[in-house]
Amino acid sequence: GWLLWRGMACGSRSGGGKRQVLLFLLCVCVCPSGAESLRYSLAEEMERDAFVANIAQDVGVAPSQLAARKARVVSEGNEQLFRLNPSTGVLTVKESLDREQICAQSDTCTLFFKVLLENPLQLIRGEVEVRDVNDNSPVFPEKEMVLEILETTSPGSRFPLDSARDEDVGSNGLQNYSLASNSHFSLALRTRKDGAKYAELVLEQQLDREEQPELNLLLMATDGGSPPRSGTAQVRIVVLDANDNTPVCDREVYEVRLAENSPPQQLVVRVVATDPDGGSNGKVRYAFTQISKGSRQLFELNPDTGEIRVTVNLDFEEAKSHEMMVKASDGGGLSAHCKVQVEVVDVNDNAPEIALSSRSASIAEDAPPRTVVALFSVRDRDSGDNGRTECAIDGDLPFSVTPTFDNYYELRTNAALDRESRAEYNVTITATDWGTRRRSSGQSIVVQVRDVNDNGPEFTQELYTLWVTENNSPMLRIGSVSATDADAGKNARVTYALVRQEGKEQPDVSVHSETGAVYVVRPLDYEEVRALEVVVRAADGGSPPLSAQALLRVLVRDENDNAPVVLHPAAESGAAAAGELVPRWARAGYLV
């Protein structure tokens, strides 16, 4: 393959004292595999109709060819995010892209699209990586956090703080916490298993409620952008009187496996913490501390019993696991923390989805078997065998489905087609997954069989016999010839003509080229011509044309247009009657 790098700088944009410079880096990778694949990179928040790539240049196709081959771009999913100009081959974004809205906080944000070309059918896969820009500041869930700490708490004790959230990712995401200078606390940074950072408040010097019953600290969260963004929250420390026993969780980590089709209000786990103190100092209440926004919408925690239950249906395809911290606090303000990890187990709750490039297709009737008719993809959002699919065609039709690459399939012919027998097929494709309780879905595509000129005209008769009475008027219509063609369109359009014979004069009949009507060109004389025979050719409009011939015979009827003439004896010139000599001895019956 080859790489083409381009740089693009966008002008500054002012408003509210802000100035933002976006650098646009375009990376193209064209791989000479079974199907072309294009890769691009685009910074988020680019303006509408921002340039992404020149598809025609990258694929090596002239822009005129893109228009001629009906090039179009199709994004995966329901929303079309890109626009392809078939006249120039330039790919642009339809609207400004917000990476956080499209991909949430995924490490990478890749949008997939396909460029479809026809004549011949060709699919070009492409992907655009939406790069993050530092357009979000870290935000704490609450502007003020209240910690109740016993005055007898030993130095070195740690207190987890609510994490800030930054919608950006990578270096633009949350990178560091800092604490305003004070005499009692320092800050320690910790990292969870998923790589997210959170802060713990570390007691450096023992508290004295009688000396200072409350402290106010400023906590700052900073991201790694350039320039960096930050957010702040107040940490209010309420110093409590002595409570000499802290709640203790029976486990440090609770690990639970839960099917994604678990009904709402199903028990996930019960967190248990005990405190040997009496009264309110021994009564433990539970609350979430470290939990993501998405997990908070899926689970609820009973503050009295420690039971965690499902609130809405889970979705394995959205999140495969959830992690949350539970704080167990007694009435005196002492607390303990434990971690709950929920692994979501996939079930076959999604049927395969078939995406057709077109609802209709056409193919010439003389196409050889194994000709590609259409291209389509199948996606099942489940995993494992639940997401593994196979395709089949309903009914006994001359088509088959062949897998190509990834989750794409080709609809091919598996036998010769004949438009004169059947001009249209409604092909239903059924996709089925491999789950224990198999799910399936279907889509239909109409395949039109295009006509080719494989049938010649056929006359209704091999010999046409027509009659005409002599002394007819010129251009008299005396009948017609007729031929039919089983093809369609111009291949079935029949024209007629007389076959000229070398050495013979122009015949006295003519045939209309479109209707086949037969005309006598001039008056005929029975005493001169009693019959005419010509050959008529019928040709279709195919390329090359096919033709057939028939014999046309025209018979002339006599009419009484001649008076009798006495040939002998010849009348003398000017005499009223002819004379003849008869001997005197002639008897009766003598031949005069």
For the stretch 326-360, pLDDT in tens is 999 998 888 999 999 999 988 887 888 888 877 77
- % of residues, the chain, pLDDT over 90: 40
Single residue among 240, 271, 306 that ends a domain in this structure: 240
Structural domain including 184 reads 144-240
Convert the pLDDT of each residue in 47-84 to its tens digit.
888 898 888 888 888 888 888 888 888 877 667 888 88
Q: What is the DSSP string of 101-133?
A: HHHTT-S--EEEEEEEETTTTEEEEEEEEEE--
Give Cα separations from 425 to 53, 440, 448 (angstroms): 39, 22, 7
Confidence of residue 465 (pLDDT cuts 50, 70, 90): very high
Note whether 269 and 339 are same-domain residues: yes
The answer to whether residue 260 sits within a structural domain is yes
pLDDT of amino acid 158: 92
The answer to whether residue 463 sits within a structural domain is yes
Note whether 463 and 439 are same-domain residues: no
Note whether 446 and 471 are same-domain residues: no
Single residue among 418, 450, 482 that ends a domain in this structure: 450
Convert the pLDDT of each residue in 505-530 to its tens digit.
888 999 999 999 999 999 999 999 99
Note whether 116 and 157 are same-domain residues: no
Q: Which two tokens stand for residue 28?
A: 């193209």
Note whether 426 and 466 are same-domain residues: no
The answer to whether residue 63 sits within a structural domain is yes
- Read off the amino acid at residue 57: Q
Rounded to 5 degrees, φ, ψ at 307 are: -80, 130
Q: How far apart are CA 507 and CA 518, in angstroms?
A: 12
pLDDT of residue 24 exceeding 60: no
Peptide bond before residue 264 is cis, with ω within 30 degrees of 0: no
Mean pLDDT estimate for the chain: 84
Angle at 555 between CA 549 and CA 557, to 5 degrees: 165
Note whether 232 and 149 are same-domain residues: yes
pLDDT of amino acid 480: 95
Note whether 424 and 395 are same-domain residues: yes
Rounded to 5 degrees, φ, ψ at 148 are: -100, 115
The answer to whether residue 377 sits within a structural domain is yes
Domain count, the chain: 5
Single residue among 240, 256, 282 that ends a domain in this structure: 240
Q: Which two tokens stand for residue 12?
A: 């500054």
Q: How far apart are CA 496 and CA 251, in angstroms?
A: 98
**Non-local CB neighbours of 535 within 8 Å, separated by 6+ positions:** 498, 499, 501, 549, 550, 551, 552
pLDDT of amino acid 36: 54
CATH number for the domain including 507? 2.60.40.60
Note whether 495 and 516 are same-domain residues: yes
The answer to whether residue 16 sits within a structural domain is no
The answer to whether residue 18 sits within a structural domain is no
Note whether 376 and 444 are same-domain residues: yes
Q: How far apart are CA 531 and CA 537, in angstroms?
A: 20
Q: How far apart are CA 260 and CA 409, in angstroms?
A: 30
- If DSSP codes are grouped into helix, strand and coil, which group holds residue 553? strand
**Non-local CB neighbours of 506 within 8 Å, separated by 6+ positions:** none
Mean pLDDT of the 145-173 span:
87
